[in-house]
Amino acid sequence: MSVLKAAVFVFTAINAAVAFELYEATSPPPVGRWRQVWRDDFISFDNNPNTNKNWTFDQGNDWENGEKGWGNGEYQYYTTKRKNIRAENGNLIIEVQVETKNKPQSKNGVKFDLTSARIKTSGKASWGTNHRFIARAKLPSGRATWPAFWTLPQPLYPGDPGVIWPRGGDIDIMERRAETPNKVTSSIRCLDLDGKTNRYTKKETWVSNGQRYFAQYHNYEVQHRRNRLDFFIDGKWIYGVTRAGFRASDSKK
């Protein structure tokens, strides 16, 4: 069993400090004041996609059938069922299940042995620059797991091709892959203005005691100012990228 537990918070800047367009972010951003504008403490969770006020569900899995947006070729089938996603004691539980009977199948008949859940605020709430996003989460350590907390652009209209990954890009506030058990990754990815060049930069944060670290809750955060993005773990600045530096520099890891 692999479980992700989390709570999510969003803040807006009250007096966002000036963000200087440096070539690279070599120091933390100026300290600003923030006002909380959205949060979910997961006291309860509505598994009905038609009535959930905060979250939209990704459902199914058709990456092998060419359906766009699934990104990483996941082996799991996404559901809205309580066995895969639910609230318990003020935590959101996202749990992988091994299916032995009545396996779900994709549109082209492929059956799946694993089910899980994936949710997003798209269509319910969205925020632009001068906001900070925080998830307090305890990450799974099971084999083949890949928990993530990330942002994608909001479509301007239904079917907007400009937001389909990777063209629209994404901000990975936190990723943790099972094959690298002692690190957490933050990254930014998008296509350049030419629509062809892949821009990608990331920061890998190593933890000294992975077993103990992943048994605890931690805060994963990004501050999104107009000219820079800054990433934090437990309030400690770990990585920053400016608009000027990201555009001017080569893709790097």
- How does pLDDT run across 145-154, given as a tens digit for each residue? 889 999 988 8
Q: Is residue 253 part of a domain?
A: no
Q: Is residue 163 part of a domain?
A: yes
pLDDT of residue 18 exceeding 70, the answer is: no
Q: Is residue 90 part of a domain?
A: yes
Query: Domain span at residue 71?
Result: 3-248
- How does pLDDT run across 75-117, given as a tens digit for each residue? 889 999 999 999 999 999 999 999 999 999 887 788 899 999 9
Q: What is the pTM of this model?
A: 0.86
- What does each C-alpha distance from 192 to 166, 206, 248 come to in angstroms? 11, 29, 11
123 pLDDT band, cuts 50/70/90, is confident
251 pLDDT band, cuts 50/70/90, is very low
Domain count for the chain = 1
Q: Is residue 131 part of a domain?
A: yes
Identify the pLDDT of residue 115. Answer: 93
Exposure of 84 in the CB half-sphere (CA atoms within 13 A): 21
Partners of 35 in beta bridges: 12
- How does pLDDT run across 22-47, given as a tens digit for each residue? 345 667 787 778 889 999 999 999 99
- How does pLDDT run across 205-237, given as a tens digit for each residue? 998 777 788 889 999 999 998 888 999 999 999
| Spatial distance between the Cα atoms of 141 and 136, rounded to a whole number of angstroms | 16
Torsion of CA 130, 25, 19, 219, to 10 degrees: 30
Q: Is residue 185 part of a domain?
A: yes
155 pLDDT band, cuts 50/70/90, is confident
| CATH number for the domain harbouring residue 14 | 2.60.120.200
- How does pLDDT run across 54-66, given as a tens digit for each residue? 999 999 887 666 5
Q: Considering only CA atoms, which of 186, 220, 223 is closest in space to residue 5?
A: 220
| Spatial distance between the Cα atoms of 225 and 221, rounded to a whole number of angstroms | 13
